[in-house]
Structure 1
Amino acid sequence: MIAAALLDDYTFRVVALGAAALGATSGALGTFAVLRRQALVGDAISHAALPGIVLAYLVTGARGSLALLVGAAVTGFLAVLLVGAVVRTTRVKADSALGIWLSVFFGVGLVLLTYVQRRPDASQAGLDRFLFGQAATVLREDVWTMAILGAAVLAVLAAAWKQLKVLAFDADFGSTLGLRMRLTEVLLTILLVVAIVIGLQMVGAVLMSAMVVAPAAAARQWTNRLGPMTVLAAAVGAGAGVVGAIVSSEVERLPTGPTIILVATALVALSLLFAPHRGIAVRAVESRVARRRLGLAAVLADLAELERQHGGAAHGHHAATIGVMAEADATVALRELARRGLVVRGPDDAWSLTDRGRTEAARR
């Protein structure tokens, strides 16, 4: 009933479709940012987009999303170029350069936004939605823009897949193959800029970087292959967008953008805990099982050695004696071995190997 009611809600459909398009695009592109350890690039682009939005409004006087997004893309791309220039010409590391330019552009954006909001005309109202995001203001035309630009980004991603794949893992090797890695890096930056700026109205400049990083970080826990990781990151991003839209529509006065980010973060946490072979909880269980298996094998081997030292199988041994060799309490291990039919407990509480147990000990 709730799902049907939500689907009948025009505003919800618009927001959910926009969030899904945004999540799929940013998640797919975020795969390369995460693999290249450039997660902060998304943060720099999203914060650097703010002055571009305000300047675009001051120049054009229009509040249409497309014009403002063009301004955001220009300053976002400019910020990345400046970061690269600083890294190439100075001894400043990439993370420091990103932090510097992120702060500079965002500070300029806040100053310009304050200036615009103090103007006597009221037409500038609403620009601050690009700061923290305001999904309720997203219109059908905005969703079309997001969908078309997102589809274009994914199409370019598919077309340049081979070059981007080499760039993600070994750009120097790609250069030796004659691939234009520098041009590929610029292309990836442009795609990231587009993927980020289309989500500013919905998620906001402050949180948009999480929309790029979180889906890819979650997907990375489930696979070691680039293709499945990219598809899974897009699916996680789209799913977080839709679920976030549903939750925010069910809870009064719950903002959609931050809710989407919280859902994406929850998916990252679940992946970190329960992903096969990598999840913290899964590895803890696997480690415990492995330690238990090794402990059983050690007790079985110690009991076999004791039998050989005492001239045969008829001589049983107490758990305390076996524990001295194993340097641990062997009682629990002996009970488990007995349950498996590998050892038997005599009437005097002495333990000895069964025929099956001797065969298993010899095999080890």
Structure 2
Amino acid sequence: MTASFLSYNTLIVLLGTGLLGANAGLVGSFAVLRRRSLTGDALAHAALPGLALAFLLVGQRNLPAMLAGALVSGLLGVAVISGLRSRTRVKEDAAIGIVLSVFFGAGVVLSRIVQNTPGVGSKAGLDSYILGKTAGIIRQDVFIIGGVSLVSLLLILLAYKEFKLTVFDPDFARVQGWPVLRLDLLLMGLIALAVVFGLPMVGVVLMAALLILPGAAARFWTDRLSPLLVLATVFGLSIGLIGTALSAQYAKMPAGPIIVLVGASVFLLSVLIAPKRGVLGRAVAAWRFRRSLDDRAMLRRLYDRVEPDLPTVRPINTAEELDRIGTNRRRGAILARLVRQGALRMEPDSGGIMMTLTEDGLRRARAVARDQRLWEQFLLHAPELAGTMADLSQESVEVLPPDLIAELEESLRATGRLPDLEPRELAP
């Protein structure tokens, strides 16, 4: 590490961007789950005219006044979106697009007016609010960001159950008498605070990405809200720290865009490698599921062959069996896999290679045959319930109610087609 990287100013910037990323990840997760991600984008763009108007009213660069103006302007933009959505036939995505473009256009015009004002225009520094000026973070900014982050965390902890229900089932919350509108406004207020205090660091254009990326990335890793919030906060913190560190290591590299690129990288990695929802994770799960189905189908076929001779398990000629079902590399691999699993035993004989179900293989084959025959019986006697009760992709019939399973078993037992799950004597 270079000495410049360990300097006091760099550590202050790291602390500021880390806190900002953590807060943006925490608050932005609710926006992602509530499908209000673009509302945060619109809020960030709508804050620009408030910055310029506050400067024109005060007549000098006063950060608290300018941030207050940005907050008012951003909340006004959100109010306009809400009004267009509820009082007109304009859809939410169109309302967001209108507010985003109109407010941002007004902000650019007002910032140009400020820049052209003699004597003070050059001191306004409004251009830095568009792409941010991360290197300008000072200790007071860190205290402000830390305070905002603490307030957001406390409010989320206090209203966690309310936020959770409002995010996932607002209609039910409304029926239960919960103040859904007020909770929604509180959530928008937390997003507005995160946006406004993040503008001087990453700017109008990039703040929306910092709000969305951590929560969207965390969504690939978990289905539960609490772990998602923790992950999004950690992702946001890491994105801020890593982006700032990379920017500090390379001269003339803007921190704001680097931070967003790091966030995009975290999101892309989540898309690819997350265990359940990631592309690779889903591909591996599908591959394992296909292998399981192949194994089960082969065990069912072998059980049907040996069932008439039970309790004696007679050997089966491997070549003859493959001729019956069609010889190919896939079926050979299935048999080899069952041998490795201990379900089959291969032994040479004068007539060729003979395969025999082991005790464990017979137990598995009986269970597979039982499940599939129960499914067939269920579909035969209750086809109208199949779409509402049964998930045929399940490996076990136990997803059905116990009383229904007992009824189906009795029906199979009456026809002599119910496999006995108790182990029996095997042929030596």
Do they superpose with TM above 0.5? yes
Aligned to 1:124, the other structure's residue is in SS state helix
Contact 1:221 1:275 in 2 (8 A): yes
* Cα distance in 1, alignment partners of residues 228 and 93 from structure 2: 25
* Cα distance in 2, alignment partners of residues 84 and 239 from structure 1: 33
* Cα distance in 1, alignment partners of residues 139 and 202 from structure 2: 17
Report deviation, 1:15.
1.0
The 3 A distance-change label for structure 1 pair 290 and 52 is same
Identity of aligned residues (%): 38
Write out aligned runs for 1:1-364 (5 A): 2=1, 5=3, 8-121=6-119, 123-307=122-306, 313-318=314-319, 320-324=322-326, 329-341=330-342, 342-344=344-346, 346=348, 349-356=352-359, 357-364=361-368
Q: Any idea what the Cα deviations from partners look like across 1:213-254, whole Å, max 9, x if unmatched?
A: 111112222222222222221121111101111111112221
Where does structure 1 lack aligned partners over 5 or more consecutive residues?
none
Where does structure 2 lack aligned partners over 5 or more consecutive residues?
369-428
Report deviation, 1:172.
2.8
* Cα distance in 2, alignment partners of residues 315 and 224 from structure 1: 46
* Number of aligned residue pairs: 361
Contact 2:137 2:201 in 1 (8 A): yes
Contact 1:26 1:211 in 2 (8 A): yes
Contact 1:344 1:354 in 2 (8 A): no
Of structures 1 and 2, the one scoring higher in RCO (CA 8 A, sep 6+) is 1
Aligned to 2:355, the other structure's residue is in SS state strand
Report deviation, 1:327.
8.7
Moved more, 34-43 or 251-260: 251-260
Partner amino acid, structure 2, of 1:69: L
Q: Any idea what the Cα deviations from partners look like across 1:286-309, whole Å, max 9, x if unmatched?
A: 211121122122223323434558
The 3 A distance-change label for structure 1 pair 349 and 51 is farther
* Cα distance in 2, alignment partners of residues 337 and 170 from structure 1: 46
Contact 1:43 1:208 in 2 (8 A): yes
The 3 A distance-change label for structure 1 pair 340 and 93 is same
4+ runs deviating over 6 angstroms: 309-312
Q: Which has the larger radius of gyration?
A: 2
* RMSD value, Cα: 2.4
* Cα distance in 2, alignment partners of residues 24 and 296 from structure 1: 46
* Cα distance in 2, alignment partners of residues 64 and 239 from structure 1: 31
* Cα distance in 1, alignment partners of residues 316 and 169 from structure 2: 63
* Cα distance in 1, alignment partners of residues 40 and 366 from structure 2: 58
